[in-house]
Chains A and B, each alone.
Chain A
Amino acid sequence: AQSVTQLGSHVSVSEGALVLLRCNYSSSVPPYLFWYVQYPNQGLQLLLKYTSAATLVKGINGFEAEFKKSETSFHLTKPSAHMSDAAEYFCAVSVRSGGSNYKLTFGKGTLLTVNP
């Protein structure tokens, strides 16, 4: 069954430092992969998605992720953290669950703290 594992439930960086949030997936078929961001008491907002086109995917707010099949990874990066990036980040994989139905299966999330 397809699944994702996020390594590190909490990541803390200084403002201006590199952000690296790790996600590994398990899938028997080429996966569709997503990163979402969630601010406190809000829903999930899509940051970026991989749909079997370019392996380096650029998203909103300066984030990008690289799909590496050999490592079964889809890590999220941003060169320079901003205070407004503090939030919870979720990696997700699209799972076919019968017929034409797909649903997203999420990791447990990584809380990003940005220190001034």
Chain B
Amino acid sequence: DTGVSQNPRHKITKRGQNVTFRCDPISEHNRLYWYRQTLGQGPEFLTYFQNEAQLEKSRLLSDRFSAERPKGSFSTLEIQRTEQGDSAMYLCASRQQGPGELFFGEGSRLTVL
């Protein structure tokens, strides 16, 4: 399978714990995006990488959130000191340059108790 891969698919954690999600994009795509989706809402942009450079961050991305893309390949999204409001589906997507479509992974669902 050469699509976008995300893991874990599901994560249940207690408030205050740290969690990390991983995304492996389509190999020839140099653009990688993270989105957050809460129940009944459309995906909301969090951050974007071009190769290893993080070029844009949304105001939704508080200082408890950090994303990396070392070597311009896979990416990680870490949430520190999780809060119940962080419960959501975290979607990763990738594409080549330009305004075309994004290719999404299956998502990582976070539940904070």
Given contacts A49-B100, A94-B99, A103-B56, contact A109 B40 (CB under 8 A): yes
A96 proximal to B (CB < 8 A): yes
A103 near B48 with CB under 8 A, answer yes
User: Which residue on chain B has the smallest CB distance to residue A51?
Assistant: B100
Contacts of A46 in B (CB 8 A): 101, 103
B side interface size, CB within 8 A: 28
B102 proximal to A (CB < 8 A): yes
A57 proximal to B (CB < 8 A): no
A side interface size, CB within 8 A: 29
Select one of B33, B40, B50, B106 contacting A42, CB under 8 A.
B106
Select one of A34, A41, A106, A108 contacting B101, CB under 8 A.
A34
Q: Which residues of B contact A (CB under 8 A)?
A: 4, 6, 31, 33, 40-45, 48, 50, 55-56, 91, 93, 97-107, 109
Q: Which residues of A contact B (CB under 8 A)?
A: 9, 32, 34, 36, 41-46, 49, 51, 90, 92, 94, 96-109
